[in-house]
Amino acid sequence: MAREVRIGCVQSRPLATFDEAIKEARRIAGGAVAAGAELVCLPEYCGGLKSEGGLLVPPSAVETQHPVLDALRGFARESRVWILIGSIAVDGPGDRLVNRGYLVDDQGKIRAWYDKIFLFDVDLSPTQQYRESAVVAPGGHAVVADTPWGRLGMTICYDLRFPQLYRTLAQAGAEILAVPAAFTKVTGEAHWHVLNRARAIENGAVVVAPCAVGAVPGGGAAYGHSLVVAPWGEVLADGGDGVGYAVTTVDVETVAAARGRIPSLRHDRPFSDPGEPRQRPSAAA
């Protein structure tokens, strides 16, 4: 029996303020809903993003008073759709933030939340350096949540480069792997498609990867090309390099079919860590 879902990826711009981000998210999400989306997925930092002095400094608020979270929960309730809020910046411990994503049901109820585990501390060039950990406190828990169409594993952006997280989610029953992102244009052009396809293929899972697009206020740029990838690796939707949305129908039953053809999840087995070279067994006397 088919478990079909119309998935809509929102491809919005990084914007400097809550108000701008809310207006754009609601507008584009509304278009996706009008096109039939039942699960609307927004990118990382869909609540606002800017940079200062090489640091990403998204606008942040206390979770219980966060205007973007309130607005998008209201949108889900009004539109009767499930929403993956890719991430928003929430006030965290000390003077740092948490980069937190939410899964919201069609009544506006928060079903799950996830704090980004792997932080983007990289040196792309002598003039393009990022230190997310200077601003953001990392999470420490993998998250899988139930939806009407199947189990969904939550990740965010740079997590995509850590396949062990996706294996853990798949082994915990995730059939849909969410990868909301604000991938940089430089790394996106080189790695975005191949990494998302790899995570889908190696886990036999649907990958849904909404990505922000365009210039980041203060410097930098996001890649776009929001993707929906089938368990066999086919790209079902690609949002291209402009603002907008991509909507496609996915049958989650294809996950079981792919895993039946290549049952690698069942073939996982423990092994020892590399250490000192092992001695060969002595030949029998």
Is 41 one of the catalytic residues? no
The rounded distance, in Å, linking the Cα atoms of 173 and 10 is 26
Contacts of 264 (CB under 8 A, 6+ apart): 202, 204
In a 13 Å sphere around the CA of 69, the CA atoms on its Cβ side amount to 21
Distance CA 247, CA 159 (A): 24
What is the DSSP annotation of 204-240? T-EEEE-B-EEEPTTS-EEE---EEE-TTS-EEEE-T
Choose the catalytic residue: 116, 132, 175, 185. Answer: 116
Say how far apart CA 94 and CA 104 lie, in whole Å: 27
Tell me which of 50, 157, 175, 211 is the catalytic residue: 157
Of 44, 46, 185, 211, catalytic: 44
Q: Could you confirm whether 44 is annotated as catalytic?
A: yes
Residue 185 a catalytic site member:
no
Positions marked active-site: 44, 116, 157
